[in-house]
Structure 1
């Protein structure tokens, strides 16, 4: 283990939950394949839970709202644990050299959030009350944010194309 590892309660608990002391992880190929398979499963849950939340609030109505909100928030909690564990081992999520912005993934997540909140507004019978008002605000703000992200991406792409075209002609 690296010297940067802080062997606090969080790392010990995560290692126990992940069964990282298992002899299974001693063999490098097995560990690599298991890590890749886990990442694929994690990504599936990151998308499946919010999608299920959206469907459940639109199908189940008001009774499904608390469960849908929990399903929508759960992947964020799991991601927090992943980033916390990586940070405790000296791997920072901010180190994005060579990684293009995941603009379309953000837009897809934002679209799921907008659909969920629109379903909450519908299930609550309008924008009344705290949950209805919050959901209405998220729908309006989410649509504005989605437009801003999309426009920013298009402007950035055009700028990059102009710069690369200008570089070729000289």
Structure 2
């Protein structure tokens, strides 16, 4: 077990006797998923609104919210991956829910950063907006390509494992 998984188990108190009961653990896991998703949605909506509703102060708060949301998300994805589940490979990414969440996060983080850069950047946001207009689609495309490549790698590994199983070969030996 890696140090990351041990630390996550400690933070989540996963060795507590509470988790010994299967039904209780399942219900708690569902409740935790609902809580995590609520945290993401409420934080994303608040972070997307704050730079526009509360100006520079709201942009600073939104930037903090964005950093917390992305950090917690990476911890969740990292723990799942360390336990053998790659969410990028095992779910459809072309869902309206994910697109909307991505747009909210895009408005939350980069939107707050743009607001702050415009405020502290000497009043000429033109070059910054041009850079953002170029960098945003390039970054998005790089992310999509990376996720698609990872999904392809997982499919190929699964296919190779199935073929090895059919041939009676155990690749783990």
Please, what TM-score do these two structures have when normalized by structure 2? 0.63
The one of 79, 86, 93 equivalent to 1:92 is: 86
Match of 2:15 in 1: 21
The answer to whether the aligner puts 1:111 opposite 2:100 as a matched pair is: no
Residues 48-100 of structure 1 deviation map (CA, whole Å, 9 limit, x = unaligned): 1121112221122112222211212322211211121122222222432xx43
Tell me the secondary structure at the aligned position of residue 87 of structure 2: coil
Match of 2:51 in 1: 57
Match of 2:163 in 1: none
Match of 2:66 in 1: 72
The verdict on how the C-alpha distance between 1:17 and 1:140 changes in structure 2, with shifts beyond 3 A counting, is same
Name stretches of at least 5 consecutive residues in structure 2 with no aligned partner: 145-173
* Residue correspondences, number: 137
Tell me the secondary structure at the aligned position of residue 54 of structure 2: helix
Most deviating of 68-77 and 108-117: 108-117
Most deviating of 60-69 and 40-49: 60-69
**1:114 & 1:66 partners in 2: Cα distance?**
15
Are the counterparts in 1 of residues 48 and 107 from structure 2 also a CA contact under 8 Å?
Answer: yes
The verdict on how the C-alpha distance between 1:31 and 1:59 changes in structure 2, with shifts beyond 3 A counting, is same
Are the counterparts in 1 of residues 60 and 116 from structure 2 also a CA contact under 8 Å?
Answer: no
Cα deviation for residue 118 of structure 1 reads: 4.9
Match of 2:76 in 1: 82
Most deviating of 46-55 and 85-94: 85-94
Match of 2:35 in 1: 41
Please, what TM-score do these two structures have when normalized by structure 1? 0.64
Cα deviation for residue 102 of structure 1 reads: 3.7
Are the counterparts in 2 of residues 11 and 85 from structure 1 also a CA contact under 8 Å?
Answer: yes
Tell me the secondary structure at the aligned position of residue 90 of structure 1: coil
What RMSD in Å do the two structures reach over aligned CA positions? 3.2
**2:63 & 2:116 partners in 1: Cα distance?**
13
Are the counterparts in 1 of residues 56 and 119 from structure 2 also a CA contact under 8 Å?
Answer: no
**1:20 & 1:107 partners in 2: Cα distance?**
32
